[in-house]
């Protein structure tokens, strides 16, 4: 089985499906709330966050508690690295406390993988976002959300819209969708926010919403980091919304039963209009609920408890 | 039953009595410690604090843990609102994680009620203090403390002393006491710290300790926020103590078995002398203990409302 | 039995041995991981830290959770003392919430003892480090680590190396080792970092590694607080390492099976070389693991659960 969960890129279709099935099992038979189970009782999970993110940390903390694990939150800025200790020494020290799993958030790409290569045998590492590289639990909850709505991945048309250049989510989504069989993945962004050679990921690039959204089944909006505005990459929020904001008119270009997704937090009136965000085709809040089930699935699979 | 707990004003005598009886049930038969019970096992309670208050947050966290609930502490300043997300979006996101109850502390009057009107069905909201408006769990622990000592509420004479203008506690206390049948409620404060038309709350106003304390059974001292001193409302701490501080001499004006209360933290030598605060008639620390039982009662009653 | 755990100085050989035996019992029969036990279920342990220390706080939090206790972390700087409340009032308030144990970290020597003299009957206090005075749980985990490796304490030769002047750990170690029967305890430090009259503690002082390390069984390196460099006590990190750093060459002066210890976090290349810190004779990480078991032992003994 898996020991770490670092990227969606490294996983087979079977492994992705195992995670999605496990997430499904945490829902009640009636499809309702995700309830507490004793699967990880006695296990210790450490949220090791080198980059503050209350939202992400909360979802992992809650997933761990729903599995009955003990959780330690360690914000590493406020901790031992201040005293000049190296990252590996900090890690060794925490793992010596007999912990079972690290959830790592770090501003540098590759940090979770680096840590996974140095932890003691038997300890698992989950990547909760590393630099611009990957945010695989977010991508898994996105494909889980899609699977709960659509029949299959093969015939789907998916558009990912927004700041692909800085998005660790988008890379992880594209890899997961490709592995699950989705052929038609489109990315839509202004030229300045498209990575070079984005087509090598197996996607088709558009710089125009009207073309890109044509008849798609899934629209995944990315969050626009407002700090990008300060640079020369974007003219203004208003202009961005005019060109790339998801409005009811543009949504009408997609398939009739198209689904709107967003990882949150949303910027209303910047990348998405309130009518669409709160509309009947939006599953933005279901994504949050699904995120708990998916993180529980990943944690329990890594712990070998499934 | 109740879905939310927002003010004492909105509650009937029966509802108040139900809460007080439930709080009593959390004490052992011998009246000793409040122990852990499994009533809310598997439930998730979120302390959503928009205003820092370690003391209040701790009492709710402990009450939730004594009920075996899982607790998340979210300080909203350090969280998503910084990223420009609206309050309602933050709320929707947290509730999408399948939480059961919000404990809200906010600097604006009406915040908890506003939130209660927008949460999903089945989620309960507890007001842990909103602006100058209400602090109803504090008021409930105060009336619970009174009920554990005195025979009945009807014949009580109660004096509330201090900064009534800025006190969210006093308003909640007056409403609860009136509903429970107390006729003789007095407020004692300098003119600058009395709200306009305070008599409309059903109390008698005094600007003089000697008159106001005459033969009362309960003296509730309010905390003097030291920051009020900076303004023009008060001359000096020393002068305030001279005029409105509770000393042994002034306590002697009350009934022989009068009880002294204070919500804490106390300012020794400002609103109360150490002799009185630590004296045999003071129940200030019992109030703290009772606060755990009362919060457990409110939480378990709201959780039983689904 | 013991009500508080404040210093190693005040404990008899029997009491120390009781703690060490209890710590041993938390290890599996196979000597593996320390697992969760229900000994303190329903108890509330408060980490009351007046001085930030994520590392130490984490070890106590984890020990408490492994015993199934509820844990409250209170950083007292961010709390009520800011509002002008006295230390004793803060303490009384928290204990009124029916807590069972305080873990105290404070920058002033004697703080934990002061608090232990003022808590309500039935509440226990653990000293998690007070000023330059004592850090007795660290000392206990050190002697526990020694006992797991060596046959007995009587015939041991132990060298403690480094900043003895500012070390609260070293004082506690010396007292524990002396009580357990160790005769040959040496302290090695530059003159400026040796307390006056250090010999009155029953140790022999050396200002030279080569002499002091001769044939010792245990080498305990102390952490060099980098802030000492700013003062006139030390010339430079490099010069310190030249004179007092533990290198493979110096380690070779000790007994062949000598054990290297350090309380962490280590300063590589300042007080210890990486070869030694990561070498086969180092038990630095075992010390961390043992620290959980020892703190569980102390907590359960104080709670009367042993």
* B292 interaction partners in chain C (CB closer than 8 Å): 97-98
* Phi, psi torsion values for C278, nearest 5 degrees: -95, 5
Check residue C80 and give its pLDDT: 46
Q: pLDDT per residue over C114-129, tens digit each?
A: 999 999 888 999 999 9
- Are residues B298 and B279 part of one domain? no
Contact B76, B105 (CB under 8 A): no
CB contact under 8 A, B58 and C97: yes
Across the range C291-303, mean pLDDT stands at 96
ipTM of the complex: 0.87
**A3: number of Cβ within 10 Å:** 14
- Are residues B84 and B227 part of one domain? no
Which pLDDT band, with edges at 50, 70 and 90, does C306 fall under?
very low
pTM for this entry: 0.90
Contact C257, C150 (CB under 8 A): no
- Are residues C30 and C103 part of one domain? yes
Q: pLDDT per residue over A202-233, tens digit each?
A: 999 999 999 999 999 999 999 987 666 566 66
- Are residues C193 and C112 part of one domain? no
Helix ranges (H only) for chain C are 13-25, 54-66, 87-95, 111-116, 136-149, 168-179, 209-212, 227-230, 237-244, 248-251, 274-277, 284-302
Contact A146, A163 (CB under 8 A): no
- Are residues A147 and A29 part of one domain? no
Distance, in Å, from the CA atom of C184 to the CA atom of A223, rounded to the nearest integer, reads 65
Across the range C77-94, mean pLDDT stands at 70
Q: pLDDT per residue over A248-267, tens digit each?
A: 999 999 999 999 999 988 99
Q: pLDDT per residue over A278-287, tens digit each?
A: 999 999 999 9
Q: pLDDT per residue over A42-78, tens digit each?
A: 999 999 999 888 889 999 999 999 999 999 999 877 4
Which CATH number covers residue A230? 3.40.50.1370
What is the nearest CA distance from C128 to chain A, expressed in angstroms?
17
Q: Does B92 touch chain C (CB under 8 A)?
A: no
Which pLDDT band, with edges at 50, 70 and 90, does C55 fall under?
confident
- Are residues A158 and A73 part of one domain? no
* Phi, psi torsion values for C18, nearest 5 degrees: -60, -45
- Are residues B280 and B140 part of one domain? yes
What is the nearest CA distance from B264 to chain A, expressed in angstroms?
30
Which residues 21-50 of chain C have a CB within 8 Å of chain A?
33-36
Is B23's pLDDT higher than 90?
Answer: yes
Is B66's pLDDT higher than 90?
Answer: yes
- Are residues C294 and C215 part of one domain? no
Across the range B138-161, mean pLDDT stands at 96
Domain that residue B276 falls in:
136-287
- B203 in a domain, yes or no? yes
CB contact under 8 A, B62 and C42: no
- Are residues C293 and C159 part of one domain? no
Contact B46, A62 (CB under 8 A): no
- Are residues A111 and A193 part of one domain? no
CB contact under 8 A, B54 and C78: yes
- Are residues B277 and B188 part of one domain? yes
Per the listing, tokens 């947290």 go with B94
Which residues 53-82 of chain B have a CB within 8 Å of chain C?
54-55, 58-59, 61-62, 65-66
Number of A:C CB contacts under 8 A? 60
- Are residues B158 and B265 part of one domain? yes
Helices C284-302 and C54-66 meet at what angle, rounded to 10? 60
* C72 interaction partners in chain B (CB closer than 8 Å): 58, 61-62
Number of domain units in chain C:
2
Q: Which residue of A has its CA nearest to B87?
A: A265
Check residue A272 and give its pLDDT: 96
Residue C181 CA: distances (Å) to CA of A296, B161, B277, C11, C52: 51, 62, 50, 13, 35
What is the nearest CA distance from B19 to chain A, expressed in angstroms?
27
- C65 in a domain, yes or no? yes
* C287 interaction partners in chain A (CB closer than 8 Å): 96
Q: Which member of B52, B264, B292 has the closest CB to residue C98?
A: B292
Across the range A270-294, mean pLDDT stands at 96
């Amino acid at each position: 089985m898996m020991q770490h969960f670092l990227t969606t890129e490294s996983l087979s279709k079977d492994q992705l499906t195992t995670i999605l099935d496990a997430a499904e099992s945490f829902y009640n038979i009636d499809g309702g709330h995700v309830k507490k189970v004793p699967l990880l009782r006695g296990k210790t999970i450490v949220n090791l966050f080198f980059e503050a993110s209350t939202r992400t940390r909360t979802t992992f903390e809650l997933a761990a508690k729903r599995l009955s694990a003990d959780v330690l939150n360690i914000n590493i800025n406020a901790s031992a690295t201040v005293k000049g200790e190296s990252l590996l020494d900090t890690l060794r020290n925490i793992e010596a406390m007999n912990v079972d799993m690290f959830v790592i958030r770090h501003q540098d790409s590759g940090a979770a993988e680096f840590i996974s290569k140095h932890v003691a045998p038997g300890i698992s590492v989950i990547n909760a976002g590393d630099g611009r590289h990957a945010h695989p639990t977010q991508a898994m909850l996105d494909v889980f959300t899609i699977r709960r709505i659509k029949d299959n991945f093969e015939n789907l048309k998916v558009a990912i819209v927004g700041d692909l250049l800085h998005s660790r989510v988008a890379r992880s989504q594209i890899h997961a969708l490709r592995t699950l069989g989705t052929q038609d993945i489109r990315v839509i962004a202004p030229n300045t926010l498209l990575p070079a050679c984005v087509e090598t990921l197996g996607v088709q690039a558009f710089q125009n919403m009207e073309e890109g959204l044509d008849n798609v089944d899934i629209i995944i909006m990315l969050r626009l980091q407002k700090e990008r505005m300060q640079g020369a990459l974007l003219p203004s929020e208003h202009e961005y919304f005019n060109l790339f904001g998801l409005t009811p008119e543009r949504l009408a270009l997609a398939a009739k039963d198209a689904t709107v997704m967003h990882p949150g937090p949303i910027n209303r009136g910047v990348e998405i209009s309130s009518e669409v965000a709160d509309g009947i085709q939006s599953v933005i809040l279901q994504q949050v609920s699904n995120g708990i089930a998916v993180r529980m699935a990943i944690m329990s699979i890594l712990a070998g408890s499934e």
